[in-house]
Amino acid sequence: MNIKKMVILFIALTLVASFGFSAACKEKAITFNIGGDPSTIDPAKTSTVNEGAALVQIFDGLVRRNPEGELTPAIAESWEVSPDGTVYTFKLRDAKFTNGDTITAEDFVYSWTRVIDPRTGSPYGYLMTYIKGANALNSIDISSADAEAQIADAMKNLGVEAIDDKTLKVTLVAPAPYFLGLTAFPTYYPVNKKVVESNDGWADSADTYVSNGPFKLVDWKHGQKLSLVKNDQYWDKENVKLDKIDLLIIEQGSTEVTMFETGQLDIVWGWDIPITEVQRLKKEGKVGFTNQIQNRYQALNSKKPPFDDPRIRKALLISISREPIATNVMGNSVPLYAYVPKGLVDADPSKDFRDVGGNLIEENIEEAKRLLAEAGYPNGEGFPGFEILYTTNEKNKAIVEALAGMWSKNLNINNITLKNVEGRIRSQLRRAGDFQMTSQGWAGDYLDPLTFLEIFLSDSGQNDGKWSNAEYDRLIKVAQTTFDREERYESMHAAEKILMDEAGCIPFSTEEVPYMQNPKLKGILRNALAQTDLKWAYLED
């Protein structure tokens, strides 16, 4: 072969090799819109769906749900449960945080105690009250003179113990069949004690953030996106197929639809897509639907006028027409005439909790007018008005406009102000109790009615409106602690009736949640608990 041919052949082989190498090494990256900018991504302090959407990608709990929704081993390699269902013993695998530190049982003890500790102010502190001693610790008034002594005392009786580096023992106050699933929830994720205690702002920047999941945070541009890459320290990194995920922050539903249709987004939640767009996308076969266990409601600040008067709350609760809101404003929704939605079993597992409990709201404009007059505002005269806080997107705007229109028409309440802010700001105002009424929704954190009902406990960190009722609290505590299944469900039904009788909130619908997804993207967990987990996701060629 002459020199010229040899050179041509060499160049050709080099090009083929280079092309094959670059094709094989092409970055597997996707984009996912999570809606609002997280207020925090500290597992002990998060409380919203968009914050959870970020955390589930960058953390691992004791267990994790696979794409079929089944609980599978994660940081816990195995576990045993005592015959009475109150003691869980977890054996941990060899796993590391993103900074290389080994994860031990003591990390779980520290992390869970931190959530329960009332000084942390975790909005989900109540979610650990199934653990022995947790309720006593979480309920301590930190303003009391001897709070520090009470906390130190209560910590000694907490049912979370590191037997050794690889063995975690958890003792519950009563059997809770959903407890194992809770250990996959963000509040139960382990954090690195050394990192947390050395820097109060550890969770505010990618430079100081430490986690333990399939992906790690490398950049956070507030109001734009969080950038994640595959975690090379992850114990199961061989099964993580994506190299990079950009979690975009887009609050306008119409904008995210446009970005999806132009190839700028691979995954879109449909919480905020306008109804007209949902109808079009449905016809074009571009949208799917998830039967999530969730509701939509208006949260009322019962500590601020006019909602400190239960008669006014009740008048608003029973004077709206839920059917047109569900059908014409939201779409893919059904009216909700109680607080807890369908999809959760009752004492008899063959029956649905909602079917057994029935409707607890009766729409009655005349009764609403009577209550308003009794409160001092006949035919709405002299009513002081109020402000509805909502996040910036078309669907939320349409919902609050419809509600305000009904209260104007039915009760002659015309001085209602609608205030829209970005999601991050609304979360801050909501958590601070700096609102009169705000649009709200709740997606179940575990498969039990209690996941909806316990947020209205007087001391719950999720009870933004601070509605309070001693008998309600007692009934929920019974449901949390009794060994008697019948008594447990009777208590929850009774508690829900009190919540609706006193109009602790104004529920109006539950919905099938639309989503859009790149057809080449497979292996996603998307379940009834509003989780979207990308650990096992991959792109088809």
Q: Write the CA distances from 4 to 1, 8, 11, 196, integer angstroms.
A: 8, 6, 11, 65
Whether residues 348 and 497 share a domain: the answer is yes
Whether residues 190 and 302 share a domain: the answer is no
The reported pLDDT for the residue numbered 96 is: 98
Q: What is the CATH number of the domain that holds 117?
A: 3.90.76.10
Residues 428-452 pLDDT 10s:
898 889 999 999 989 888 889 999 9
Last residue of a domain, one of 147, 177, 194: 194
Taking 60 as the threshold, does the pLDDT of residue 10 lie above it?
no
C-alpha R_g of the chain: 25
Q: What is the CATH number of the domain that holds 467?
A: 3.10.105.10
Taking 80 as the threshold, does the pLDDT of residue 225 lie above it?
yes
The reported pLDDT for the residue numbered 86 is: 96
3-state secondary structure of 394: helix
Residues 389-418 pLDDT 10s:
998 778 889 999 999 999 999 999 999 999
Please state, in angstroms and rounded to a whole number, the distance separating the CA atoms of residues 512 and 270.
9
Domain contains 36: no
Taking 90 as the threshold, does the pLDDT of residue 20 lie above it?
no
Last residue of a domain, one of 194, 215, 234: 194
Domain contains 210: no
Q: What beta strand segments (E) does 231-305 contain?
A: 244-248, 267-269, 288-290, 294-300
Do 525 and 531 touch, CB atoms closer than 8 A? Answer: yes
The torsion of the CA quartet 409, 410, 411, 415, rounded to 10 degrees, works out to: -30
Residues 464-481 pLDDT 10s:
999 999 999 999 999 998
Please state, in angstroms and rounded to a whole number, the distance separating the CA atoms of residues 298 and 438.
6
Taking 70 as the threshold, does the pLDDT of residue 85 lie above it?
yes
Note down the domain range covering 167.
60-194
Domain contains 199: no
Whether residues 365 and 483 share a domain: the answer is yes
Domain contains 282: no
Domain contains 237: no
Whether residues 163 and 306 share a domain: the answer is no
**Mean pLDDT confidence for 11-35:** 64
Please state, in angstroms and rounded to a whole number, the distance separating the CA atoms of residues 456 and 478.
15
Q: Is 289 exposed, middle or buried (0-12, 13-18, 19+ CB in 10 A)?
A: middle
Sign of CA dihedral 125, 165, 229, 60: negative
Whether residues 299 and 190 share a domain: the answer is no
DSSP for 413-481, please give it.
---EEEEEE-HHHHHHHHHHT--SEEEEEEE-SSSSTHHHHGGGSTT-TT-TT----HHHHHHHHHHHH
DSSP for 9-63, please give it.
HHHHHHHHHHHHHHHHT---EEEEE--SPPS---TTT--SHHHHHHHHHH---SE
Last residue of a domain, one of 194, 213, 244: 194
Q: Is 343 exposed, middle or buried (0-12, 13-18, 19+ CB in 10 A)?
A: middle
* Residue written as token pair 């816990």: 76
Give phi and psi for 519, each to the nearest 5: -60, -20
Whether residues 301 and 165 share a domain: the answer is no
Q: Which of 18-22, 490-494, 524-528 bottoms out in mean pLDDT, i.e. has the lowest?
A: 18-22
Amino acid, res. 132: K
Taking 70 as the threshold, does the pLDDT of residue 248 lie above it?
yes
Domain contains 369: yes
Percent of the chain that is helix, strand, coil (3-state, to 5): 35, 20, 45
The reported pLDDT for the residue numbered 25 is: 57
State the chain's mean pLDDT as an integer: 92
Residues 289-328 pLDDT 10s:
888 899 999 999 999 999 999 999 999 999 999 999 999 9
Amino acid, res. 142: I
Whether residues 300 and 185 share a domain: the answer is no
List of residues 6+ apart from 485 with CB closer than 8 A: 347
Domain contains 161: yes
Residues 55-72 pLDDT 10s:
999 999 999 999 888 999
Q: The tokens of 431 are what? A: 């958590």
Residues 256-266 pLDDT 10s:
999 999 999 99
pTM of the full structure:
0.86
Taking 50 as the threshold, does the pLDDT of residue 246 lie above it?
yes
Domain contains 503: yes
Whether residues 327 and 183 share a domain: the answer is no
Whether residues 298 and 190 share a domain: the answer is no
Whether residues 174 and 304 share a domain: the answer is no
Q: The tokens of 2 are what? A: 């002459």
Please state, in angstroms and rounded to a whole number, the distance separating the CA atoms of residues 439 and 312.
18
Q: How many domains does the chain have?
A: 2
